[in-house]
Amino acid sequence: MKRLLIANRGEVVVRVLRTAREMGLETIAVYSEADQDMEYLSHADEAVQIGPAQPSKSYLNIESIISAALVWKANAIHPGYGFLSENPSFAALCEENGIAFIGPPSTALRTIGNKSRTKQVVKSLNIPTIPGSYSMISNVDQIITMARQLGMPVILKSLYGGGGRGMKVAYNENQLRQQFASVSSEANAAFGRNEVYMERYLSCPRHLEVQILADGQGGIQVLGDRECSIQRRHQKIIEEAPIPNIDAKTRDNLWKWSEMIISAIGFKGLGTVEYLMDQDGNTYFLEINGRLQVEHPVTEMVTGIDMVREQLMIAAGSRLSAGRVSISGHAIECRVNAENPAKNFMPTTGCVTSVRLPGGPGARVDTHLFPNCVISSYYDPLLVKLIAHNSTRAGSLKRMTRMLNETRIEGVITNIDLLLRLLANDKFLSGNGDTSLVMQLVKK
C-alpha cells in the first residue's frame, strides 16, 4: 500500500490525510466542481476533479472514482463515511481492480448492508432485536398488514441506508401509505437503492454504540462504547464516550453481544454495532455500520487509538491481539452544522467570512473550514467537530462549553446556541438524554 485515494469530501478527508501522511503514504484527493477551492486539496500529493457538484455525478460516481484511482496509480481507496463508504458494488470493483478498499470486504458489506438479513443473524444468537420485518417490503398493502400486527407507531427505513437518511415514522395507516413512497424515493436518491423495511417505533429511546475492530482472522478488539442519543431528524449532533448512566451488566452485555455478532458474520475492519434502549431499560440490536463513524474521535480520545491507522493496517494484513482496550477519562463531541434550528434545521449556505476555533489541553478540532469557504447546498451541513476530553464527564462538559463559547463562524447560521442549551439541560447533564431531547428544546 503506497498511494491512497480518499473518495470523499470535507473534514473526513483532512482526518484521513493526516494519518496517511504520518504513515508515509502518498495521497490523492478527489473533488467536485463545487469543491475545487477547498484548502485541504493542497495537502494531498495529487488532487483530481471527478465531476460536477451533484453527488450522483461526482462523489457517488463509482466509475469516475475507480478511473481516477487507476489513472493516478492508487492501490488503496479510503471511502470516509457517507457516499460510497458502505457500497458493496464499489468495494467489489476495487477488489476486481486490485485496489485495497479500506473497509470491510464486499461480501461483508452485502451482509450488514441488508438490515433485515443482519437481524436474522442476530436473532439466531438470542440477542434482543426490535420487532419488525425481516425482509424487504415490496408494496403498501403488505406494509399495512404488517403494521397492524406490530402495532402503531412504526418506522420505515431504507434497507441499505444509514446516517438518518431514508427514515420516516408513521402513527396511523394513512401516514404509512404516504411515507412508503417518500422513504423509497429518498433512499434511492441517497443510496441508489429503494428497498424498504419496517420496525416497531420505540418512543424516546437512547442510542448506544459499541466500536469494534476485527482482522478477519479471529482477532477482535472492543474499543469501548458511545452514547449517541442527542439527535435531530435521526442524525446525531452530540456524542460521548463512554456511555454515561448505565449499569455494569448492561455495558458488559453490549460488549459481549457485539463480539458475538461480529464473529458470527465474519466481519473484517472497523465496525460499529448499534443498539436502542427503551424507557424501561431494555436494549435491542439496531444495526451494524462497517465504516469510520463521524463520532469516532470520542473513542480515539478515550482509548488513544488512531482508528484510521488501524483501518489501514488491517487492510494491509495486520493481525490484532484479541481483547478489550482500556478506557481513560471521558470525551464529548459536538457537531457544529450550517443549519437553522429555529426553521426545522434547514441547511444554511453562503460564504464563511471569518472563523475562530478553540484550542487548549484536551481540546480537539476536526474541520475543513477556512475563511472565505463557500458552504454549498449539495452536501451535508457539517462544518466543525469539537471534541473535549477530560478525566471526568463533568470536566469534559465544562471544557466543551468553553470550546463552544470560543468558536466563532461568521457568514452562515450555525447550531452553536442550541448545542450550548443542550449541554446545560438537566436531563442531558444527568446522563438521561434521549432521541427526543433536541426537538423538546427547539419547541420551547
- Could you confirm whether 177 is annotated as catalytic? no
Rounded to whole angstroms, the Cα distance separating 343 from 60 reads 29
Number of Cβ atoms within 10 Å of the Cβ of 300: 22
Classify the C-alpha dihedral 265-243-155-379 as positive or negative: negative
**Residue 71, SS3 per DSSP:** helix
Record the cell numbers describing residue 235, joined without a space: 442524525
Active-site residue, from 291, 335, 364, 399: 291
E runs forming strands in 171-317: 196-200, 206-215, 220-232, 235-241, 268-277, 283-289
- Angle, CA 226 vertex, CA 190 and CA 316 arms, to 5°: 70
The residues annotated as belonging to the active site are 291
